[in-house]
Amino acid sequence: MRIGIGILLVLVTACGRTEVDDQSTSRCETDDDGAVECAYLSRNVWTGLGDLHPREVHHQVPVGTPPEEGFPVVIAFSGSGASGSLSFAGWPGMPFGGLHQAEMVRDLLDAGFAVLCPESHLNGATYWDSNIYGYSSVWELSEDRQFVDDILDEIDAGSFGPLNPQEVFATGISSGGYMTSRLAVTRPDKFAAVAIASASYAWCYSAVCWVPEIEADHPPTMFLHGERDLVVPVSSMLPYADALDDAGVEVEVVIDPEAAHGWIPASGPEVVGWFSRFAHAKAEP
């Protein structure tokens, strides 16, 4: 297990939808102040009881020719009360590291990864079901479980563009980080690697966390965490990292000593570098 510690800073998110010239080399624009805005599309995925409940997925593919197998794809889960669309824009001075979230999306797109940002319940106004107390016992019956299965089916069907269903990655922040862990432990066959920000094991909540023995098929996992995080303390994440290491799973831990709860400034390069280790086919510029 590698633990990286750097001196970094924290900022956050905003929403936007822009048009990018077809001749551009990027789907995103960064202005002189460092604000990032990326073009994206939105699509309803019908899920829930009787397939009567549409939930949006915001998505984008990289500029360039896709690999023959399709673009590798990252599903990014937002934190509580944050729309998935907020992943595509951010500027300095915002809370919870939203600028760094948008920088990560930009860096993933520029590196050849497609990005999907699904909405949690009520158009992102709530949270993901993963770490609600007692939810593990009924997870297989939950709408969020069905929603993810439906997204994976839509990827396979080409609904979000030329994506590779064999190279799917997941990342998320806070509630979305717990959701990322939930998928890693329940659907390890579907995810090539995951990156968990300001969160821990699927059923944990804030400082309350017990980590079971980890199965060896758990996807390779990166943790991104602020040492000053009082919402989800680092102490709740480290046992998960240790359990992965004990199981022989590849794991990296990146701790920012200056950051609180949110995406850390190193999120973009760290997540891109981590996922690139497990993606075999990339876009041609």
Are the beta carbons of 99 and 37 closer than 8 angstroms? no
Mean pLDDT estimate for the chain: 87
Helix (H) or strand (E) holding 224: strand 221-226
Question: What's the structural domain count of the chain?
Answer: 1
Which structural domain range is residue 192 located in? Answer: 2-276
CA pair distance 175, 124, nearest whole angstrom? 11
In a domain, 284, yes or no: no
In a domain, 283, yes or no: no
Give the tens place of pLDDT for each residue, 118-146. Answer: 998 877 677 788 766 566 677 888 888 98
CA pair distance 46, 10, nearest whole angstrom? 36
In a domain, 224, yes or no: yes
Kindly report the backbone phi and psi dihedral angles of residue 148, in degrees, each rounded to the nearest multiple of 5, phi listed first: -65, -40
Supply the pLDDT for residue 46: 87
List the CATH number of the domain containing 206. Answer: 3.40.50.1820
- pLDDT at residue 49 is higher than 70: no
In a domain, 281, yes or no: no
Structural tokens at position 109 = 């797109």
- pLDDT at residue 263 is higher than 70: yes
Quick check: pTM over 0.75? Answer: yes
CA pair distance 193, 275, nearest whole angstrom? 7
Are the beta carbons of 55 and 83 closer than 8 angstroms? no
CA pair distance 194, 175, nearest whole angstrom? 15
Q: Which of 46-60, 96-110, 149-163, 220-234 has the lowest mean pLDDT?
A: 46-60
CA pair distance 260, 233, nearest whole angstrom? 9
Structural tokens at position 13 = 């998110």
Burial class (CB within 10 angstroms; exposed 0-12, middle 13-18, buried 19+) of 10 = buried
In a domain, 282, yes or no: no
- Cβ-proximal residues to 5 (8 Å cutoff; 6+ apart), any chain: 254, 255, 256, 257
Residues facing 251 on adjacent strands: 221
Say which amino acid occupies 34.
Answer: G
Burial class (CB within 10 angstroms; exposed 0-12, middle 13-18, buried 19+) of 239 = middle
Q: Which of 3-7, 217-221, 270-274 has the lowest mean pLDDT?
A: 3-7
CA pair distance 244, 104, nearest whole angstrom? 24
In a domain, 16, yes or no: yes
What average pLDDT does range 215-241 have in this prediction? 97
* DSSP per residue, 174-185: THHHHHHHHHHH
